[in-house]
């Protein structure tokens, strides 16, 4: 009985933590910072890879989560960066993707009210 309760509790914690992010992150992503104040990015995430590949994976995963692209604004070509606005119902999700260094891509996201 105790073992089953522990498994249920562990499963609930995993589900709650997974619910924090509105979409699945690219494989190997590491959350560097979180802020739930509503005054800055909700999460800052780092992942190894190429800018175009990481951006595409984020876009595919947002689509799978039910978001539709509203805007994709290139911010810089060297190093590459892009600001995207995604819509789901009445929610707007902003995602900034940028190359931090060769082989390391960062992305930040937050809801815009």
Tokens, residue 28:
């190997």
Question: Structural domain boundaries of the chain?
Answer: 22-112
pLDDT in tens, the chain (113 residues): 434 433 333 333 333 334 478 999 999 999 999 999 989 999 999 999 999 999 999 999 999 999 999 999 999 999 999 999 999 999 999 999 999 998 999 999 999 87
Q: Strand runs (DSSP E) across the chain, as ranges? A: 30-34, 43-48, 68-77, 80-88, 91-101, 104-112
pTM value > 0.95: no
Report the chain's C-alpha Rg in angstroms. 16
Angle among Cα 25, 88, 42 to the nearest 5 degrees reads 50
| Integer Cα distance of 33 and 35 in angstroms | 7
């Amino acid at each position: 009985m105790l073992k089953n309760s522990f498994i249920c509790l562990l499963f609930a914690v995993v589900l709650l933590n997974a619910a924090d992010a509105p979409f699945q992150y690219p494989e190997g992503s590491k959350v560097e910072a979180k802020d739930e104040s509503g005054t800055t990015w909700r999460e800052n995430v780092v992942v190894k890879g190429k800018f175009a590949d990481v951006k595409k994976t984020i876009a595919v995963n947002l689509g799978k989560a039910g978001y539709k692209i509203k805007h994709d604004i290139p911010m810089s070509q060297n190093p590459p960066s892009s600001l995207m606005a995604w819509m789901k119902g009445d929610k707007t999700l902003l995602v900034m993707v940028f190359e931090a260094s060769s082989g390391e891509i960062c992305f930040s996201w937050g809801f815009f009210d």
